[in-house]
Amino acid sequence: MKLALAGINHRTAPIDLREKLAFRADEIPTALSHMRSRGAKEALILSTCNRVEVTAALDDAFHSEALLECMVKRCHGISLDALRPHLYVLEGREAIRHLFRVASSLDSMIVGEPQILGQMKDAYRQAREQGTLGGVLDTVLSRAFSVAKRIRSETEIGATAVSVSYAAVELAREIFGSLNKKRVLIIGAGKMSEGAAKHLLRAGAQDIFITNRTRERAEYLAELFQGEVISYDLFLARVPEMDIIIASSAVPGHVLTRETIRRAIEIRKNEPMFLIDIAVPRNIDPAVNDLEHAFLYDIDDLQRLTDRNLRARQEVAQQAESIVAEEVERLQAKLRERDLTPTIVNLQEQLEVIRLEVLGRYRNRLGSLTPEQEEALEALTRGIVNKIAHGPISEIRREAAAQAKGEESRDAELVSAVRRMFRLQ
């Protein structure tokens, strides 16, 4: 049985193509069943905004490119020939390596992001629920999750912020330590604000207030993140209550002036305020930086931080790639050994049948034997059988180890020859 994977991702295909191939969650059970009906022994589908991949365990005679049909069957107006330049098909060692790299976020748009591991675990769960997860995929995916965990624990691949909103929240944590019981005001309700709110919640912030010129959008975010809406015409009066302010509004000009923040700090009795301006043009007067107890960062500050951190992650990724290579070799050897075990067991069983048959045929000629002689005869015949089996078994294992390392190997031919010579079923 062989492992095969087919897919597209953010590097090989534009977003409009990825959107057309993407599987909705409710489509995946039917697609998994279709893959089984077409001959896949095991099947798994991973569909995210950045990648669509189908993975399967197939009989050796099954052509891996048949997996591509499972991807395009649902898409009207898209031919396989038109998609082929954007698709990749991987088998065996390369498929394992790819799955390990995906789980470890080495193949992500942002190296080190944690979401992909959760998405892979969801795909694994769904395949198991549909009954399309068997020994091969279970072994490979379980090891992929372990590799991702090992990389997280042995490297600093996820230790630094690489998005502006994430960097903003990490800076807030540096200033305040824990964000528990900190009051946060988000001015504006666009995508940047949404990202910041998401990271704030993960960091432990509990009191999130949102204000926006369009109240409907503010209410949407408030519901999404268990926050509270402040009317846009009243939020300035609430500024002194806030420990953290994130401004990302499309309003022209400065929403928060130096004087507004100075009065707020005075009312707060010099308790520090952390202000993040991720709007362009800026929402907060840069002169706020002159105030003691006010910590203001704009989008350029955050971008410099994220660029530096992204470069650091790329360097750490080299360590992670070494771990992946080591783990691929280890798993490849394990899978190959498992594939060859039936042949080795069959050979040993066949030789044991022959040993017992010959012993039975000649035992009467030997007459009465003492227990010691019986034991010696048993040891002698077993020793002969083991000597005969040693050569072919050692060669099978040696060739399997060479294949696991990516070296030239003739293990398939050798196994076939052994099975023919010893007439194994």
* 29-77 residue pLDDT tens: 999 998 888 888 999 999 987 899 999 998 877 777 777 777 777 665 6
Map out the domains of the chain with their CATH numbers: 2-154 (3.30.460.30), 164-306 (3.40.50.720), 332-421 (no CATH)
CB 285 within 8 A of CB 257: yes
Judged against a pLDDT cut of 80, whether residue 220 lies above it is answered with yes
158 vs 139: CA distance, rounded Å = 25
Q: How many other C-beta atoms are found inside a 10 Å radius of the C-beta of residue 215?
A: 16
Catalytic residues: 49
Burial class (CB in 10 A: 0-12, 13-18, 19+), 48: buried
Residue 68 token pair? 């591509």
- What does the pLDDT look like over 140-199, one tens digit per residue? 999 999 999 999 899 888 766 566 677 777 777 777 778 888 899 999 987 777 877 787
The gap from C-alpha 228 to its chain's centroid, in whole angstroms, comes to 34
SS3 151: helix
- What does the pLDDT look like over 125-139, one tens digit per residue? 999 999 999 989 999
Q: Which residues pair with 186 in a beta bridge?
A: 210, 246
- What does the pLDDT look like over 331-377, one tens digit per residue? 887 777 776 777 778 888 888 888 888 888 888 888 888 889 888 98
The gap from C-alpha 403 to its chain's centroid, in whole angstroms, comes to 26
120 vs 133: CA distance, rounded Å = 13
Q: Give the residue, 108 or 148, on which the prediction is more confident.
A: 148
342 vs 139: CA distance, rounded Å = 18
CB 5 within 8 A of CB 53: yes
CB 245 within 8 A of CB 273: yes
The secondary structure of 120-188, three-state, reads HHHHHHHHHHCCCCCHHHHHHHHHHHHHHHHHHHHCCCCCCCCCHHHHHHHHHHHHHCCCCCCEEEEEC
Helical spans, DSSP H, in 186-298: 191-202, 215-224, 235-238, 258-267
Reported as a pLDDT band with limits 50, 70 and 90, residue 397 is confident
